[in-house]
Amino acid sequence: MNKKILYIIFVFLSVVIMTGCRKDLLNQNATVSPNSNTFWLTEADATSALMGNYNEFRPCFDRDYHFDGHGDFLKMYNTGVAPISITVNSPSAYGGGAAALYRELYGSINTSNYVIENIRSKLLPNAKTTVSRQNLEAVIGEARLLRGIAYFRLISLWGDVPYIYKIVNAPIEVDTISRSSITKVKDSIYADFTYAAEKLPNRGAAVGRAGKPAALAFRGKLQLFWGSWKKNGWPELEGFQQSAVEAKTAFEGAAADFNRVITEFGLNLFRGGAPGEWGEMGKADVLPNYYYLFIPNPGNVNNGETEVLMSITHGGNATGQSEEYMRVWTGVSVGLSQNQAIPRYELADRYQSTITGDFLPKMIQMNPSTNSAARTTPNSSVNPESYRNRDYRMKASLLWDYEKIMGIGTTETTGFVAFLYKTWSGNITIDGVTYPAFNDNTTNLSGLQSRKFVRNYGGANRSSGDYNWPLMRLADVFLMYAEATNEVNGPQADAIALVNRVRARGKLPALAASKTASPSAFFDAIEQERIVELFGEGQRAFDLRRWRKIESVFGPAYGAGKWFQDSWGNNWERFFFNADELVYQRCYIYQIPEAERVRNNKLTQNKPWR
């Protein structure tokens, strides 16, 4: 959180973080510790401790875009980044690369327990007014929401995990805890989300502070995932049983929660869901509204001002809490950035026609260095005209040949630079005007470049951003509601209308009747919207896993796998070539970190990793 956090909280938390964190800290004595004479006396103390909780929670979730590297539309480089490394970002073999995340999620959980227990035992009994009690219960609600989200991430990746509900003061307290069944942990998460939904105000107390809509949205998402797992199965999780009855119940519960978020709080999509203006081909002085949802200025704020129901805040310059999204998502020409996230070329064909509302013919990948007509051939991947009249979210998210982006030096704007695949220096002339070439630091091997998450104004360097990462958005709730209701009753009018509202921000026509003629057709339409609407936000890999779609995207076991190519038709990367079943199984469930199992011999290992 972008707040001052008491030093005393940090010191205390450093010595109570559970077994996943460093034992050398656990074995040290605190030089300063709060006591009942100096702390846990006022509501302000509770809020200060909660800020420490948010501070521990932030790094576990504010780089969720790394999970898109496990999907099929984003290439991630430099995976071992601070503060929490996910050491594998390819679409396969990633299940053993998240040991640090496992550890830090439990650190966040322990700080939540610290807040919850101390308020319950030291402040609530002495609350003198109803308002004071309600305020303290709301703080507990936020801490329980953070705890529930952290456990939700743990079960989504590892299945059965140890459940710790109280403060851990020494490693011995957790070094003998066995894994709890996913059902038991799920029920505890549900209870946390329910308490939060009951106790939180309709709007968070400040930007980044969660309110009731966020708690309901996460409870709905938990049930949606549970319904997906129960419907589609999770054979890699030992003992997990499919159940059509449980799936239906979960989908119904999810739909009910999402419906409350949609109907009870007066929420709306960013800028009313209006698409804004495309501008002109090859220019970037005017951009669609969707673009501005993902930069700090004019403001990515929650609490009803935008569609962001819960965000992870960053403080900007000199706060020690800045974000580095520009550094990751663009190249040297924009803030000396490092181009660690590259949209795969295959994403381009996912953006539909603003005229027909449907997919256009797949673009023809052509090499302009060997084909002089490549730049003018209709539907050529290197002909800018092939990108005209497409979903406005494409213009807001991507650069293709001869598109421009605002150049930035260290902090100052330098004027527009032009993107041209494989031209990383010198000048490029467009319509008689010469621009510097976009420099991508040699990592771009797709033919596309990102505009999403990239600031177009100066004032801050690549590592001093203050963008609020969207942990839960209303558009996602719309699409999850449509998915949940479709699972129960097939395409429904209200769900179709919500999907069309999401499409409208891309200036796409409403879905054709054929897209809503059956549950399977409507599911395909929902998946399509999730791909383009949530690109880069860390959702795709979780969708592929809960839908059991890894094989359908990358090919079956012992098959040819899937090649990713660039806009020129060159092969770039191939995944799952002749891969056996074990390779796929290890994508569906992560490895319990071996270092934790050495420390705690009661921790069993997931079946595909034995």
Amino acid at 191: A
Q: How far apart are CA 333 and CA 325, in angstroms?
A: 15
Residue 571, H or E segment? strand 571-575
Report how far apart, in Å, the C-alpha atoms of 49 and of each of 5, 33, 117, 142, 590 are: 8, 13, 11, 11, 32
Q: What pLDDT does 9 receive? A: 37
Closest CA to 340 of 458, 207, 449: 449
Q: Give the Cα-Cα-Cα angle 175, 180, 185 (nearest 5 degrees).
A: 120
Closest CA to 112 of 148, 64, 156, 137: 148
8 A C-beta contact, residue 427 and residue 434: yes
Q: How far apart are CA 8 and CA 30, in angstroms?
A: 10
Report how far apart, in Å, the C-alpha atoms of 370 and of each of 366, 367, 387, 426 are: 9, 6, 22, 21
Architecture of domain 7-203+592-597: Alpha Horseshoe (1.25)
Please report the beta strands in 236-328, taking only residues with DSSP state E, as ranges in sequence order. Answer: 308-312
Longest dimension (CA), the chain: 80
Q: What pLDDT does 502 receive? A: 98
At residue 361, the 3 state secondary structure works out as: coil
Please list the rounded mean pLDDT of every run of 10 residues in the chain (610 residues). Answer: 34 37 30 66 96 96 95 86 80 94 96 97 96 98 98 98 92 88 98 98 92 98 99 98 98 98 96 95 95 80 68 87 94 96 98 98 98 97 98 98 97 97 95 95 94 96 93 98 98 98 98 98 98 98 98 97 98 97 98 96 97
Q: How far apart are CA 393 and CA 475, in angstroms?
A: 13
Q: What pLDDT does 35 receive? A: 66
Burial (0-12, 13-18, 19+ Cβ within 10 Å), 172: exposed
Q: Give the Cα-Cα-Cα angle 384, 388, 391 (nearest 5 degrees).
A: 130
Q: What pLDDT does 6 receive? A: 32
Q: Which residue is associated with the tokens 């005229």?
A: 355
Closest CA to 341 of 81, 588, 586: 81
Closest CA to 333 of 406, 282, 262, 273: 406
Q: What pLDDT does 85 receive? A: 83
Q: What pLDDT does 14 receive? A: 41
Closest CA to 581 of 542, 547, 607, 544: 607
Amino acid at 354: T
Closest CA to 92 of 590, 608, 584: 584
Q: Which residues of the chain does CATH 1.25.40.890 include?
A: 7-203+592-597
8 A C-beta contact, residue 485 and residue 254: no
Q: Phi and psi of 450, rounded to 5°? A: -85, 140
Q: What pLDDT does 305 receive? A: 53
Closest CA to 112 of 23, 188, 24: 188
8 A C-beta contact, residue 219 and residue 198: no
8 A C-beta contact, residue 452 and residue 397: yes
Q: Which residue is associated with the tokens 């191939």?
A: 574
pTM of the entire predicted model = 0.94
Amino acid at 174: V
Tokens of 473: 């958005």
Q: What pLDDT does 11 receive? A: 35
